[in-house]
Structure 1
Amino acid sequence: MAVSNLKVALIQTDLYWQDKVANLAMFEEKLWQLPKAIDLVILPEMFATGFSMDMESLSEPMNHTICKWMIQVAKQLKVTITGSAIIQDSGKYYNRMLWVSPSGDIDWYDKRHLFRMAQEDESYDMGKKRRVFEVNGWKILPQVCYDLRFPVWSRNGASSDGEMDYDLSIYVASWPAARVKAWDILLQARAVENLSYSIGVNRIGVDGNGVEYSGHSAIYDYKGECVSSAEENEGILILELNYSDLIAFREKFPAWKDADKFELKN
């Protein structure tokens, strides 16, 4: 079956500190500026609150305000929309990357690697399951911020006939300006080593803890070329990813055949 190209929109913006109403209103205004025929919209990490450890007062159960807002947006704009939020589930708190289809169906990935330098590991529960979602035939690996530093968790596997686990990895983030060079390097590396597109969506501005963010949201292709970058500016990146070019490159340069075999254990 032929797979069509994928048109993605990345939203890089400042966030209102711990203010869901203001953030959702701000994103809604930006989303309605999007052109038609977007397949996938990507928001930053904890897009409704900023990166906060105040999970008790900021968390929501599934299908509450944030989830309902995302479902409404997905249905109205006929897009898949994703970004992470603070979710309470079965008495536990998660930095959960929500994934909502145009039909309103909702799925998720819970952040695996919790940023101990900000006590995230003391505030949230670790995700234990790697997920791969699908949009228009594209297989997409969702990841959150600090996950970017751990390549084993995002390693792209392949079957004997060359069918790979995923075609695109997405990292939503609140990645500080002080370490933005590492962000640039690692996003590029994840694309090269996994023979896939790699997208990172980071925020800008200064949060309530005085942490500065400088964006650098970007799209890298399977050869490690940066095909689009927001640098440090507020704005929306829109790009169409080419599936046939990706497959042609994998066939021409089948490095996956020489990959080391291993199994992940939770």
Structure 2
Amino acid sequence: MEPLKITIFQAYLFWENVDKNLQNLGLRLSSLREKTDLILLPEMFNTGFTTNVEKCAETMSGKTMHWLYDMSKQFDCVMAGSLIIEEEGKYYNRFIWMSPDGSFVHYDKRHLFSLGGENEKFTAGNSRIIFPLKGWKICPMICYDLRFPAWSRNQQGAYDLLVYTSSWPDKRSAHWRALIPARAIENQAYVIGVNRVGHDGKEVYYSGGSMCISPNGDVVYYKPEDEDLYTFTLNPKELEENRERFPFLEDQDQFNIL
């Protein structure tokens, strides 16, 4: 494993306005002056969190996929975040992992937010996926997945970094601040939650709070309230030393979800 440089973009999003969001995100990203390996964007970064699939869904060959490729190629790094994808008459909240060569893989959100009607419009994913990058094993999740620890359980050290791309409202920010460190400690992995800021079209307020927590529960990065574009480096040494000193993963219960 090599040191991994990650850029979190805690962005203000314009409600259901793909063109304006992509323009704004691209403009802000143009201020990056240092090389990074991975740029993480919030959940539904091109529209804000919405169930208006008829207006906002795209295909896997749509403009946002092309934008992700252009940005990935421009910054020579992986671009990652979720958007609404229509495929064979079904809609998915899909996390895209776009590489500079134009290749990509994806994860479909497993736990759909029934309180917001997401389960009525979207189809849930049924499998996890691990993305490799510079020797790291990275597991993507989407927002509401954070509340379900069995789904993110790090069995047999399946991953080193757990990522939640999110639209987590301020009214439940205390849960966000508690659950992300819990996932890091219990899974002996780095955990990143990238959130958005501002109000959406339903006057729901998002206060950011994007963070990175170490396997020991230490805060690597935390930013409430304001839009922020921040780059930091994760060193594998702390991860390896934590797992060697406290081999808790060896004692975990073994089970299958699906």
- Whether TM-score is above 0.5 comes out as yes
Cα shift at 1:237: 2.1
Cα shift at 1:35: 2.5
Instruction: Percent identity, please.
Output: 43
Give the structure 2 partner of residue 65 of structure 1: 63
Query: Aligned partners of 1:157 and 1:129: how far apart in 2?
Result: 15
Query: Aligned partners of 1:109 and 1:169: how far apart in 2?
Result: 13
1:172 and 1:201 in contact (8 A); partners too = yes
Greater CA drift, 120-129 or 101-110: 101-110
Gaps of 5+ in 2: none
Query: Aligned partners of 2:204 and 2:249: how far apart in 1?
Result: 39
1:229 and 1:237 in contact (8 A); partners too = no
1:230 and 1:237 in contact (8 A); partners too = no
Residue deviations 1:225-262, cap 9 Å, x none?
Answer: 11111111211121100112211110111001110111
1:114 and 1:120 in contact (8 A); partners too = yes
For the residue of structure 2 that corresponds to 1:134, the secondary structure is: strand
Give the structure 2 partner of residue 92 of structure 1: 90
2:16 and 2:56 in contact (8 A); partners too = yes
Query: Aligned partners of 1:35 and 1:199: how far apart in 2?
Result: 22
2:11 and 2:41 in contact (8 A); partners too = no
Alignment partner for residue 252 of structure 2, among 240, 256, 259?
259
- Return the TM-score normalized by structure 2: 0.98
Query: Aligned partners of 2:100 and 2:190: how far apart in 1?
Result: 22
Q: Which residue identity does 2:225 align to in structure 1?
A: E
Query: Aligned partners of 1:224 and 1:102: how far apart in 2?
Result: 32
Give the structure 1 partner of residue 218 of structure 2: 225
Cα shift at 1:86: 0.5
Give the structure 1 partner of residue 176 of structure 2: 183
The yes-or-no answer on 1:200 pairing with 2:200 is no
Give the structure 2 partner of residue 50 of structure 1: 48
Query: Aligned partners of 1:257 and 1:106: how far apart in 2?
Result: 32
The yes-or-no answer on 1:104 pairing with 2:123 is no
For the residue of structure 1 that corresponds to 2:209, the secondary structure is: coil
The yes-or-no answer on 1:241 pairing with 2:241 is no
| Two-structure CA RMSD over aligned residues (Å) | 0.8
Gaps of 5+ in 1: 159-163
The yes-or-no answer on 1:168 pairing with 2:161 is yes
- Aligned counterparts, 1:114-133, within 5 A: 114-133=112-131
Give the structure 2 partner of residue 10 of structure 1: 8
Query: Aligned partners of 2:88 and 2:235: how far apart in 1?
Result: 40
Count of residue pairs the alignment pairs up: 258
Q: Which residue identity does 1:185 align to in structure 2?
A: A
- Aligned counterparts, 1:74-89, within 5 A: 74-89=72-87
Q: Which residue identity does 1:183 align to in structure 2?
A: W
Query: Aligned partners of 2:213 and 2:32: how far apart in 1?
Result: 22
For the residue of structure 1 that corresponds to 2:79, the secondary structure is: strand
